[in-house]
Structure formats: structure tokens, C-alpha cells
Amino acid sequence: MSKEIKNVEYGLEKIFEGAQDFLPLLGTDYVEFYVGNAKQAAHFYKTAFGFQSHAYAGLETGMTDRVSYVLKQDKIRLVLTTALKSSSPIGEHVKKHGDGVKVIALWVEDAKKSWEETTKRGAKSYQEPTTTSDENGEVVTAGIYTYGETVHMFVERKNYNGEFLPGYVKWDSEYNPTSIGLKFIDHMVGNVGWGEMNTWVKWYEDVMGFVNFLSFDDKQIHTEYSALMSKVMSNGNGRIKFPINEPAEGKKRSQIEEYLDFYEGPGAQHIAVATDDIIETVRQLKARGIEFLSAPPQAYYDEIPARLGVHMDMMKEDLKVLQSLAIMIDADEEGYLLQIFTKPVEDRPTLFFEIIQRMGARGFGAGNFKALFESIEREQEKRGTL
């Protein structure tokens, strides 16, 4: 049995006793995207998702091969990076994968030890421990590869008071759209190739000391046409949760297979961000031009009271309002959750966002999988990729 603690800053925490917290991880530090045009991507995430200008590095700051814009909203930091020259590995990454997540950075007490412990357990090094400094102190970073070309950086910032990292300057902008209430990253999902899910589950167990605390097989996650399998990995304090998906055989093409075809390999599929008020967050996103997957059918909402049972009485939100915004609802023994999924946020049908409001529930919306995947299949149908 696991003992539990609650921490409002990171949602519902849980101590997983099977986990070995030799790192240990304090939270997500930042997520870095490699993109074709970081200036325009930054404008999109500010305007549409309510991120604030935070820090900048580029030619003006002595960076000669790339430009990076750092955006912030509550605890979430996004870094958008573009190569300045065609010879850059950043450009190669974008050429192959399109815009996508390169780095899922983890905030640690000791980056050198995190790198040593994980490489000792079989991780492939991306960057050896490196100390950088400026007038605000010093930061130690180190990195390892995870699935595909995706990287986990370990960031030790206990001796640093600057904006973001040495080399970055504060980014003051006169254009400051308001926040839409996104608070922290609840989980990030990786898509891996056929038959590779268990390899990566074992990798997160052996190399990172994570535990597998939820599993869904293709009998649970399927529609009439397609299927996938998923296992949810968590670190010891429950702050970092990485579900890992692989495609499964169905009558038609799984959404995971579509992702792998267009990303040209494994990669981050979606970033789930938490809000305390999903109705207001989704209204804002829609008003700012973000497109979501189509609403589940009427029958889905008709079944909600029966599906939620006792949690229906606790629900503060009006079901009609949730339905009008196409927000989905699920429950487990501990409470309910509200969630909705955007369409892909770039031209390739790859990365998308999930907006989630947890009202006690720790699950991932298993009760919504069928309705969700049917919505995705309607989009795949239009793309001719089902």
C-alpha cells in the first residue's frame, strides 16, 4: 500500500513505494521544442495559450547558432528554439520531425549525481554534467536520451537566482496577453514503436527508478477501428508522470501509428496541463483560436450521471456547460476529472495538448478513451490516415 501526501502545487501527489528515488526529481523544469520559427511560435503560445514572455537567448546575448524564447505560465516553462544555420543539429531535427518536443527537463537537487546514477544504469548520455555561470550564480545541467531523439535534461539550479539559465536575459515585451489559468504540467505522454512499450517501461524502471502504476491494454483502449496500449510511469513522489503508448493492431490505422509515420519515429505525443477552472480556460482558448477535437455524441453526456455515480453530486460544474464546450468527464474511486484535447498544434498530425482539471481523481480518463479515440478517428478520416 502506498502512503499519500497532498501538495497543492503539483496536484495530487502520491508516494510510490516501489519506486527508487535515487535522483530524486523535484518537478518538471522546462519543456523545449525545436521549431522552424521560434519567434512566431512564441507569439502563438503567448496569444493562444496565455504564456508570458520570460527569457531570451540569441545573437544579441552571444548565442551564435540558435535563438531561444522562454515562456512562462505559473509553474510551466516552455522553451522554443530555432537554428540560425542549416548545418545545425537543431535544423536537422526540425527537418526530420517537424516542430516537436526535444527536451523534457527535470528539476533535480544534484545534476551530476542524476547523470551518474542513470548512465550507470544504462542511459545513453546526451550531455555530460556541465556547470555554467553568470552574475546570478551557477547552474549544473546534464542530459540523457530517452525514446527516439527525445532528451531528459537534469537541471540543478539551487545556486542560481537568474531568470532562466546562464546565457539568457530577461525578455521584456510590450505585448502581454493575459494568462488562461494553466498551472503546471500534469503528465507528458510518449509514443513509441510497435512492441517497444515494455522496453521503455523497463527503461523508466531500471534507469530512472520509476514505477508502472497504471496499465491499459488494447482490449481496454480500442474502438471499432483502432487500438493502442498504454502504461503510466511515475517517479517516487508522483510529480513526474509519463504514460508510454504503443500502437496495436486494429481494422484500421491507430492514431499512434499515424504519429510515428509523421514524426518519423518515437516522440512526445501530448502535454497535459492542469487548470483549476477548465471552463474558463477552454473558453479563453477557443476565443483565442485554439481548435479542439469534436464533441462526443449526446449519448456520451446522457450516460455521465450513471457513470459518475456518487461523484455526480460532488460535481460543481454544470453538465450542460461542459457539454457545450465539449469537455469530457471521468471518475475513479477518489474523485472526478475534467479533460479536453486540442487538435495537433502544428501541421503534421503529431503533438497536441490536453487541458485537465483534477477533482480528486488520479486516473487519465480511461472512461473517455473510446469517445476520445472516436473523435481522433474522425480527424484521421479527414486526413486520409485512418
Which residues are at the interface with Fe ion (CB under 5 A)? Answer: 272, 354
Residue 82, CA distances (Å) to 91, 99, 278 in order: 7, 10, 32
Of the pair 84, 214, the CB lying nearest Fe ion is at 214
Of the pair 257, 354, the CB lying nearest Fe ion is at 354
What is the nearest approach in angstroms of Fe ion to the Cβ of residue 336?
16
Of the pair 209, 243, the CB lying nearest Fe ion is at 243
Of the pair 132, 215, the CB lying nearest Fe ion is at 215
What is the nearest approach in angstroms of Fe ion to the Cβ of residue 120?
31
Other beta carbons less than 10 A from residue 7's beta carbon: 12
What is the nearest approach in angstroms of Fe ion to the Cβ of residue 192?
15
Of the pair 268, 272, the CB lying nearest Fe ion is at 272
What is the nearest approach in angstroms of Fe ion to the Cβ of residue 362?
13
What is the nearest approach in angstroms of Fe ion to the Cβ of residue 47?
24
C-alpha torsion 32→33→36→37, nearest 10: -60
Of the pair 57, 256, the CB lying nearest Fe ion is at 256
Say if CB 100 and CB 151 are below 8 A apart. Answer: no
Of the pair 354, 374, the CB lying nearest Fe ion is at 354
Distance (Å, whole) CA 207 – CA 196: 16
3-class secondary-structure state, position 31: strand
Say if CB 250 and CB 217 are below 8 A apart. Answer: no
For 38, the grid coordinates are: 521560434
What is the nearest approach in angstroms of Fe ion to the Cβ of residue 189?
5
For 4, the grid coordinates are: 499519500
Residue whose Cβ sits closest to Fe ion:
272
What is the nearest approach in angstroms of Fe ion to the Cβ of residue 271?
9
What is the nearest approach in angstroms of Fe ion to the Cβ of residue 242?
10
Distance (Å, whole) CA 35 – CA 81: 6
What is the nearest approach in angstroms of Fe ion to the Cβ of residue 303?
21
Residue 175, CA distances (Å) to 46, 47, 187, 196 in order: 9, 9, 29, 44
What residue type is 45 in one-letter code? Y
Query: What is the per-residue DSSP string for 215-279?
Result: EE-TTTSB-SS-EEEEEEEE-TTSS-EEEEEEEE--SS--HHHHHHHHHTS-EEEEEEEEES-HH
Across 35-65, the runs of DSSP E, i.e. the strands, are 52-57
Say if CB 142 and CB 153 are below 8 A apart. Answer: yes
What is the nearest approach in angstroms of Fe ion to the Cβ of residue 354?
5
Residue 282, CA distances (Å) to 165, 166, 177, 285, 289 in order: 32, 35, 16, 5, 11
Q: How many helices and strands, by DSSP H and E, does the chain display?
A: 11, 17
C-alpha torsion 216→220→222→227, nearest 10: 30
Of the pair 232, 248, the CB lying nearest Fe ion is at 232
